[in-house]
Amino acid sequence: MPIVNSDLYRAFGRLGNRLRLKDQPAGTGVSSDVVAVTNFDALLETIVGDEDVLDLSGSPGAEKTAYTVPAGERWHVHYFRLEAVTAGSYMWIYVSGQKLDLDSTATGAHIVFPESGPITLQPGDTIGARATGDGADNARSLFIYYRMEDSY
């Protein structure tokens, strides 16, 4: 008599109910095997929420880098938020050496949810904000939420 893993049996029972699988008459050509497929990359991803504090009080227009994707990692960024600033600023990213402005709000909080899904950043890509030149912006938080995976 075979040993049956009760958790596995229960999982396949639920799968059968979910997919409405039923016994088929012999000779119908439908396989009786069900192959479970799992995305191991998704299982190995780490969800990260992080905050970096930037001094945006320097020379207006200067680029201040908050994050650089380290070697061996790939980030899928879902959310960016720059704390309210007193003068004109914007968030940016460099993807493969190409600068992309994320928003164009002059003052106040800057919030970006990429509309087409997460932005994928490779090792060496950076995230930052433009300096305002206003002394009151000497400690502004930049928050990001991303899925991190190993890059090969």
Domain 42-150 belongs in CATH node 2.60.120.20: yes
Q: What angle do CA 2, 31, 39 make, to 5 degrees?
A: 80
Q: How far apart are CA 16 and CA 34, in angstroms?
A: 9
pLDDT, one tens digit per residue, over 9-60 is 666 677 777 677 777 666 665 566 667 676 777 778 899 999 999 898 888 8
- Of 50, 120, 115, 55, the C-alpha closest to 89 is 55
Residue given tokens 């012999």 in the structure block? 26
Q: Where are the domains of the chain?
A: 42-150
Alpha-carbon gap, residue 69 to 80, rounded angstroms: 15
Secondary structure percentages of the chain, helix, strand, coil, to 5: 15, 40, 45
Task: Say if residue 126's pLDDT is above 70.
Answer: yes
pTM, 2 dp: 0.69
